[in-house]
Every structure is written in C-alpha cells, then in structure tokens.
Amino acid sequence: MSMEATSAAASSLPTSAMFKAFLLALTAACLLQTLLRRRRQRKPLPPGPAPWPVVGSLPEMLLKKPAFRWIHLVMKELGTDIACLKLGGVHVIPVTSPAIAREVLRKQDATFASRPLTFASEAFSHGYIDAVMLPYGEQWRKMRRVLTAEIADNITRYVYSLVTSSGGVDVRHVTRHYCANVIRRLIFNRRYFGEPQPDGGPGPLEVQHVDAVFDALGLLYAFCVSDYMPWLRGLDLDGHEKQVKEANRTVNELHDMVIDERWRQWKSGERQEPEDLLDVLITLTGADGKPLLSIEEVKAQCQDMTMAAVDNPSNAVEWALAEMVNRPEMMEKAAAELDAVVGRDRLVEEGDIPRLSYLKACIREAFRLHPVAPFNVPHVALADATVAGYHIPEGSHVILSRIGLGRNPAVWEDPLRFDPGRHLAAGGDDVTLAETDLRFISFSTGRRGCVAAALGTAMSVMLFGRLLHCFTWSKPAGVEAVDLSESRNDTFMANPLVLHAQPRLPAHLYEGMHGNPASCQPE
C-alpha cells in the first residue's frame, strides 16, 4: 500500500469513531427522552405514607395493630377514598368509595381477577386446589329450602330449652351454631360430629369446629408479615403460622373422618345415590366419564364451603338484635310484620321471606353498619392499571373496605346510626340483602356470588325471623342498655350478646319440634 493510501486510511479512523460515538449518544438521548416522557405520562400512585426501603410501611403497621384500624386512620388523615400502602414489596390499595369499587370489580374485573398467595390461604385451600365450580341447580335449591327450615326448627327448640330453664340466651353462641348446623347438614348430611345433644344444642366437637372455623376466617388475610416478605416464611415471627396450622388441623380432623369414610363407601359400591353435597362432589365426572375431583380436592372444596357461609349471617343477626333491643320500637315493628305475614299459629318458613320487608331491611342495615370483616377478599392486579386516575402497578393488592363503604358519609346520611328505614325508602317492598351498587358489601360478587347470596339470605332471614317470631327479647335485669362497642381486633361485638327471652307463641308449636330426633343423628 502506498504511503498516500495509508495516510488517508489513518485520517478516516477518527472520523468513523466520532460518527459511531455520535450515533450512540443520539440513541441514548432518545431512549432517555422516551423513558422520561413515559414517566411523566404515567399516573401517580394513590396517596399514602412514604415507605421505608425494603420493608415499606410494615414497621408502622406492626406498631399500630390491628392493621385494619391503622389503614383506615391513614386514609382518614389523608382525606382520600383510595390509598397506597407499600408493605414489603407489595402495593396494598384500600378503597372506601362505591364508585371506585365498581371501577375495580365491574369495569376492570378481568384485570383484578386474581387472589394473593398467602400462608393461610394456601393452608386452608389444601394448596390452592379448591377452585372448582360449586354444584348449583334445582337440587341445591331444594336442599337449601329444606335444611334452612329444618335447622331453624332445631335451633328454635334449643333456644326454647334455654329460655325455659334460665331465660338467658347467649345470642352469639346460638347464631354461630345455627349457621354451622346448616352447613354441616348441607355438606355432610349430619349436624353432629359426635353424639347428638338432648336439647338440640352443640356438643364439644361442634364447639371445637365452630371455634376453629372462626379462627381460620380471622387468619385468612390477616396482614401477616411473611405474606409481604416471603423470605421470612418459616420463622413465624408473629405466631401467625402456628395459629393457622392449629385451626386447619382441627377443621381437617373433623372433616376428614367423614370424608374418608364416605369416599371409601362410594369406591366400594356401598353408596349408590347422592344424599348431600359431599356425595355430589365425590361423584362429579368429566367429559370422559372419569371422576373430576381427587379426595384432596373434595376436602378442599368442603372446607371452602364451610368457611364461606358461617360468619356473615351469624354476625348480622347478633348485631341487629343488639341494636334493636336498645330501640324497642324497632323490635315491635318487626314483630308486628311477622304476625301480619305469618300469624301466631305456625312458624316462619322460607316462603315467607319475600314479604318480610322490614325484617330484611334490619338485616341489610346490619350488613351495612356492622360488616363481618374490615375488608373484602383482596384482588390482585394481573397487569398495570389505572383506577380513579391513579396508577395501580401489576401485583398490587386491591382491598375494598367493608367498613369504609358502609359507613361512608358521602353515601349514607348519618352513617353510624342503625336505621333500617333507609333501605325501605330505597327499595320499596322489594328488599334484597345483596347490594349490587357496592354501597356496602353483603355477599360475595364472585363466581360463587349467586350461591352465597341465595344461601346467605335464607340463613339470615330464617334465623332472624325465627328468633323474633318465637321469642320476645329484652335486656338482662339491671342492664340499662346493651353495649354496642366493637371489638378492637375485629368487627364483631366486643362482648358476646346475652339477652333475656320469653316464648311468644302457643306452647304446642315449640313442643311439636321435640319429636324430630332424626335430624339430630349423624349418618
């Protein structure tokens, strides 16, 4: 190569390098500009406290337990209906506005269709294998109608025995065991795990069952630290995991002794016709004719159904009775409606429910003012979303506040006052317990919503109707007014409701219920 050519090539190198550097700088500038533009265009997160690195606002939550009261206090101080709390690596988005709640569950329901994976939910669902379609049809409706009335007979007989022996009634004990009895008969075709009790009340195993189920419900989405920082799982820093295991073990031991034997009977050919929901689950088949569910899936579904139906009706009836015994005019109005619709020569039946508007308004008001839990089951964002003008990152946990919705002063006039009349004014004679506009939350609106609403309505109104129709309720001697304080750690009454009761119907109606031992017997 000539010296001239070599010199020309050498002189072109800086020019080529400079051109590449220019292109690289230009590309970087364009990328930076795009990122900045996207950041400027992205909506802000909902308002909330500034999080600490790694742990977020977990320290504040732990210092100010219970978590749900701290969350509502934060929202009140910020003056917002939607907030963002960073707990570990998770954005938790509480909502107290019906309009925002409808945006989440109606307009963007597909985006928020998932559930969080927690230690408790994994344990109680047997490893997330309970997500099957609940059998629903005429057979379910028939069973529901028969069982809600049948168990109402049993619980009326039990209350009557308490009244005639002492006059004092632990209403919480009665309402919780009515709901548990309905579910046990519906699923297992039995009210008792052990020996039937002569007075129709629960035995030791039934008390253990109800206590464990309510413990499990309180632990299900309890803001456990390891649910937001999974690498802490196993250390059990707050004792949550031990409590979950104990509650789960009790429920499983009682359920398994029935399910294992029933599974054996079907596989051996001893049983031929389904008699309850357990039989239906065991005999479900797929398109290929093979069993649809394994025994573990059957157990998970039975536990799921049990936990879905015991707490809401019992809590609403206890609170409604407590509110109304302090307002005798309400008790008298409800009794007058029952006498007009049912009379005093028979007992309340499910067919009476459509005409018991005031009774349903009382239950509906209890759902609004005294929800069974602070929050609805969390919804997880499957992708980035925008809600109420705010950016909701993928993976966020959106929690609708039952307290905030039902007691929102922008929605409800005098929201802390128990006033069943507000529901009669809104709905006329057609009063339903479900709230479709999400101004409060009564029953689930998910895939089991219709089943939960139908069963929950029947259980709530039958229980409440029987208690008010069959007995006159009053405060215990020496008590000026029932204490309506809410528990610090949950939304139940701080103290179980204990009232005095007297029969108000002819004696033969109560005595006629004594001859029904068959429904008390285990299979």
pLDDT in tens, the chain (523 residues): 454 444 444 444 456 666 566 567 666 666 776 555 555 457 899 999 999 999 999 999 999 989 999 999 999 999 999 999 999 999 999 999 999 999 998 899 889 888 888 888 888 776 665 543 344 455 556 555 655 666 777 788 888 888 888 778 999 999 999 999 988 988 898 888 887 777 778 889 999 999 999 999 998 888 988 889 888 888 888 888 999 999 999 999 999 999 999 999 989 989 888 888 888 888 888 778 888 888 988 888 888 888 877 899 999 999 999 999 999 999 999 999 999 999 999 999 888 988 999 999 999 999 999 999 999 988 999 999 999 999 999 999 999 999 999 999 999 999 999 999 999 975 556 788 888 899 999 876 554 444 567 778 888 999 999 999 999 999 999 899 999 999 999 999 999 999 999 999 998 888 766 444 333 333 3
User: Among 311, 120, 128, which Cα is nearest to 222's?
Assistant: 120
Q: What pLDDT does residue 395 have?
A: 93
- Alpha-carbon distance 133 to 444, whole Å? 15
pLDDT of residue 170: 95
49 occurs within a structural domain: no
Q: Which two tokens stand for residue 419?
A: 């006033």
Respond yes or no on whether the N-terminal peptide bond of residue 46 is cis (omega within 30° of 0).
Answer: no
pLDDT at 133 (0 to 100):
39
Please count the structural domains in the chain: 1
Per the domain annotation, does 110 fall within a domain? no
Paired tokens of 135:
């059998």
Give every CB contact of residue 499 below 8 A, 6+ residues apart in sequence. 168, 169, 171, 321, 325, 473, 474, 475, 476, 482
Residue 38 located in a structural domain: no
Task: Please say whether the beta carbons of 348 and 342 come within 8 A.
Answer: yes
Q: What's the pTM value of the predicted model, to 2 decimals?
A: 0.86
Return the pLDDT at 148. Answer: 66
Q: What is the pLDDT of residue 149?
A: 67
What letters, b where the CB count within 10 A reaches 16 and e where it falls short, cover 344-375? eeebbebebbeebbbbbbbbbbbbbbbbbbbb
Q: State which residues form the domain around 196.
A: 138-520
The annotated binding site is made up of 450
- Domain of residue 154, CATH code: 1.10.630.10
Residue count of the chain, please give it. 523
The one-character DSSP state at 442 is: -
Domain contains 48: no
- Amino acid 514: pLDDT: 47
> Within a domain: residue 333?
yes
The token pair at 138 is 């005429």
| 57 inside domain | no
Going by the annotation, the residues of the binding site for heme are: 450
Q: Is the peptide bond before 66 cis (omega within 30 degrees of 0)?
A: yes
The reply to whether 513 falls in a domain is yes
String of DSSP letters for 83-96: --EEETTEEEEEE-
Residue 172 lies in a domain: yes
pLDDT at 329: 96
Tell me the torsion sign for CA atoms 519, 257, 180, 105: negative
Contact 401, 374 (CB under 8 A): yes
Side chain identity, residue 235: L
Give the single-character DSSP code of 105. Answer: I
Q: Using DSSP bridges, classify how beta strands 90-95 and 397-400 pair: parallel, antiparallel or unpaired.
A: parallel
Check if the beta carbon of residue 365 is closer than 8 Å to that of residue 99.
no
Q: Which residues of 144-178 are buried (b: 16+ CB within 10 A; e: fewer)?
A: beebbbbbbbbbbbbbbbbbeeeeebebbbbbbbb
Give, as one character, the DSSP assignment of residue 400: E
